Amino acid sequence: MRQVLARAIGGVAIIGLIAGAAACNSDSGSDDTASGSNCGYKLAYFGALTGSAANLGVNIEQGFELAIEQYNKAKGSTCIEVAKFDSQGEASVAPGVARSLVADKKILGIVGPPFSGESEAADPIFEAAGIPTISPSATRVSLASKGWKTFHRAVANDDSQGPAAAAYIKDNMKATKVFVADDQSAYGAGLADVVKSKLGALVVASDKTEGDGKQADFSALVQKVQSSGATALFYGGYYTNAGIIRKQLSAAGWKGTLIGGDGMKDLGLSKASGVQQAVGTVVTCPCSPPEAAGGTFVNDYKAKWNVDAGTYSDVAFDAANIFLQGIDAGNNTTEKLNTYLSTVNYKGIANTYKFTETGELDPSLIKVWAFKFDSSGDAKADVEIKTS
C-alpha cells in the first residue's frame, strides 16, 4: 500500500512540476502599450541564447535590445517590443522556433540568424512569411544566392574578408612563413581556405582543429606551428578556441603573431589568454572602428548589461536601428519594411549600410580594417587594409 501511495505522489509531483511551471507562463503580448503612430509592433532577435554558441548569440541580442530600449526611451513609451527567439544556434532547432516567430503577426523585422547553418534552415521560413531579416554575422557566401528577397546581412561575406586578411599578412606584416589553421566551421574553414589560396607559397604548413567546446588541448597544433618556423598563424575560427590557442602558444614560448577574422574580435579572447599574451594579436573585420564612428555605444552597453560589448554587438545595434528608423518613417508592414531595406542608406556606429539586390552589403561600402589587441585587452583599430 505504501508503494502505491508513493507512486501516486510521484506521479502527482511530476505533473505538478510541469503544470506549475506552465502556470507561470511569461505574459506575452500585452496590447495596451501601443501609443502614438507606428507603435505597438515588435522586432525580433532570432539566434542562440542557450547552448554552446550562446556567448556569440548573447552579444548580438544585447546589442539589439539596447537599440530598442534607447528608441523606446526617446519615444517615452514601450513603442516597439523586444521578442527573443532562442534557436540554440542549431540548424535542427531553428525551423520550429522560426515557425513560432512568423506566427506572431506583430513582428515586423528580425535581427538574425547569427550563424550560416541555422540561416539555411530558418531563412526559407522567414522568406515564405515575408518578414525581412538582417543577419549581423552570417557570412557564408551562398546565402545571398538563394533568391531570398527578405535576406539581408550587415557584414561582408567570407569572400571580401579573406583576401584582406591575406593582404595584411603579406603587405603589412611582411610575413614570409605563415601557418594556416581553422576550426572546420563553415565560417572558419571558408575564411582559411581563401587566405590559404591568396597567400600561396607563403603558407608553410596547415592544420585543422575541432570546433568550439569540442577541443581544449591544442598542444599538437602548437608543436606543429613551432616546428614549422612560421612567424604568423592565421586561425579561421571564433575567439573561444583562439583564446586557448593563443595562451598555449605563449606558454610554449612561440613568439609569432596570431591573426584571424572578425569572429575573434572579442574581449573574450584576451580574457581567456590573459592580456599580455593577447597583445599584438591581429583580427581583420569588415567594419569601421567604433571610435571613429563616435557615439556612446560602448559606455551605454556597459551601463546596461554590466559587461563589455562583444563581437557583433555593435552590428546588431545598427541592424536594430535600421529597422527602427524604417518603422519610424511609417513602414509598418513587413512588405513596406522590406522595400525600405532595399533603398536604405544608414550610417551606423560600426559601418554605413546599403544593401544590394541580393541582400549583400554594397561592395563600395565594405571597408576591411585590421584591429590589434593592446594592453587594455581590447582590439583597437590599426589600419585600413587595401586589397587591390
Partner 1 sequence: MDFSGLINDFGPLTVSGLAQGAIIALFALGYTLVYGVLRLINFAHSEVFLMGTYACLFVWGLFGLDQNSAAPSVGLMLLYLVIGLVGAIIASGATALAVELVAYRPLRRRNAPPLAFLITAIGASLFISELTGVLTHRNQKGVPPVIQAKPLFTIGDTTVTNLQLLIIVLALVMMFLLDRFINGSRLGRGIRAVAQNPDSAALMGVNKSRVIGLVFLLGGLMAGVAAVMYNLKIGVTRYDAGFLLGIDAFAAAVLGGIGNLRGALLGGLLLGVLQAYAAGLFGSQWLHAASFVLLVVILLFRPTGLLGESLGRARA
Partner 2 sequence: MSVSEKATFRSSGGVRGWFGRQPVWVRGVVVAVALVLAFLLPYAGDIPLLGPQIVTEGIDWPSALFNMSYYVLLALGLNVVVGYAGLLDLGYVGFFAVGAYGTALLTSPDSVLYADTGWKWLMAVPVALALTMVAGLILGWPTLRLRGDYLAIVTLGFAEIIRIFATSTTTLRGDRGFASIPHPPGEWGGKPIFGVTDAVPYFWLGLVVIILVILGVRNLDRSRVGRSWLAIREDEEAAEIMGVRTIKYKLWAFAIGAFIGGLGGVLFAGEQGFINSQTFVLQFSILVLAGVVMGGSGNMAGAILGGALISYIPDRLRGISLGDTDLYEYRFALFGAVIIIIMVLRPQGLIPSRRRAMELKDREKEVAPQ
- Nearest by Cα to 308 from 383, 214, 239, 245: 239
Rg (CA), the chain: 23
Q: Which residues, 23 to 42, sit near partner 2 by CB under 8 A?
A: 23-26, 28
Q: Indicate which of partner 1, partner 2, none lies near residue 377 (CB less than 5 to 8 Å, by partner kind).
A: partner 1
The answer for residues whose C-beta is within 8 angstroms of residue 19's C-beta and 6 or more apart is none
Q: Which residues, 39 to 78, sit near partner 1 by CB under 8 A?
A: 50, 52, 54-55, 58
Indicate the residue among 132 and 243 with the shorter CB distance to partner 1: 243
Indicate the residue among 281 and 331 with the shorter CB distance to partner 1: 281
Q: Apex CA 218: angle with CA 155 and CA 215, to 5°?
A: 70
**Does residue 82 bind partner 2 (CB under 8 A)?**
no
HSE at residue 93, side-chain half, CA atoms within 13 A, is 14
* DSSP label of 256: S
Q: Which residues pair with 369 in a beta bridge?
A: 285, 384
**Does residue 304 bind partner 1 (CB under 8 A)?**
no
Residues 33, 172, 176, 215: which binds partner 1 (CB under 8 A)? 215
Q: Indicate which of partner 1, partner 2, none lies near residue 273 (CB less than 5 to 8 Å, by partner kind).
A: partner 1
State the binding string over 201-240 for partner 2 (x if CB under 8 A, else -): -------x-xx-----------------------------
Indicate the residue among 125 and 186 with the shorter CB distance to partner 1: 186
Q: Apex CA 327: angle with CA 325 and CA 331, to 5°?
A: 120
The answer for residues whose C-beta is within 8 angstroms of residue 247's C-beta and 6 or more apart is 272, 273, 274, 277
Q: What gap in Å lies between CA 242 and CA 260, rounded to an integer?
A: 8
Residues 43, 66, 102, 341: which binds partner 2 (CB under 8 A)? 102
**Does residue 113 bind partner 2 (CB under 8 A)?**
no
Q: Would you call 158 helix, strand, or coil by DSSP? A: helix
Q: Which residues pair with 372 in a beta bridge?
A: 282, 380
**Does residue 184 bind partner 2 (CB under 8 A)?**
yes
**Does residue 1 bind partner 2 (CB under 8 A)?**
no
Residues 186, 298, 365, 381: which binds partner 2 (CB under 8 A)? 186
CA distances from 214 to 52, 183, 262, 316, 339 (A): 10, 10, 21, 27, 42
**Does residue 334 bind partner 1 (CB under 8 A)?**
no
| Number of amino acids touching partner 2 (CB under 8 A) | 50
**Does residue 279 bind partner 1 (CB under 8 A)?**
no
Q: What gap in Å lies between CA 133 and CA 46, rounded to an integer?
A: 9
* DSSP label of 168: I
Q: Would you call 88 helix, strand, or coil by DSSP? A: coil
Please state the closest distance from residue 381 (CB atom) to partner 1, in A.
22
Please state the closest distance from residue 70 (CB atom) to partner 2, in A.
21
Please state the closest distance from residue 68 (CB atom) to partner 1, in A.
21
State the binding string over 338-377 for partner 1 (x if CB under 8 A, else -): ---------------------------------------x
Q: What gap in Å lies between CA 180 and CA 333, rounded to an integer?
A: 47
- Nearest by Cα to 262 from 149, 131, 156: 156
Q: What gap in Å lies between CA 334 and CA 131, rounded to an integer?
A: 5
Binding site for partner 1 (CB under 8 A): 50, 52, 54-55, 58, 181, 184, 205, 207-210, 213-221, 223-224, 227, 240, 243-244, 247-248, 251-253, 268, 271-276, 307, 377
Which residues of the chain form contacts with partner 2 (CB under 8 A)? 6-7, 9-10, 13-14, 17-19, 21-26, 28, 49-50, 85-86, 90-93, 95-100, 102-103, 117, 120-121, 124-125, 128-129, 140, 142, 146, 184-186, 189-190, 208, 210-211
